[in-house]
Amino acid sequence: MRTVVPLVAGLLLTLLIHIGVTFDSASVAGVVTTVLTGAYYTVFRLLETLAAKIHNRPLATVAGILLGWATPPDYPATAGAAVHSVT
């Protein structure tokens, strides 16, 4: 979800720009989509990180929803490799 939503947002932003701008090639449209998608993800990910640092849960939730999921994934800490001795 957190990958697809920014891609869709980038596509929609590109389509909005495309309404008023004529692109000469598909590669230009692809670059614009990539740049807008990256910018969208970066802005909302930084906003989500900032909100977590300042303990602003509503802001973190809004930023997370705009990224496609209300909270970033939480991965459990893995223990170090178990060492077994053979006796």
pLDDT along the chain (87 residues), means of 10: 74 75 67 83 90 90 83 69 58
d(CA 24, CA 32): 12
Q: Are 63 and 48 in contact (CB under 8 A)?
A: yes
Q: What pTM, to 2 d.p., does this model score?
A: 0.56
What does DSSP assign to residue 67? Answer: T
User: CA gyration radius for the chain?
Assistant: 19
By CB atoms closer than 10 A (0-12, 13-18, 19+), residue 45 is middle
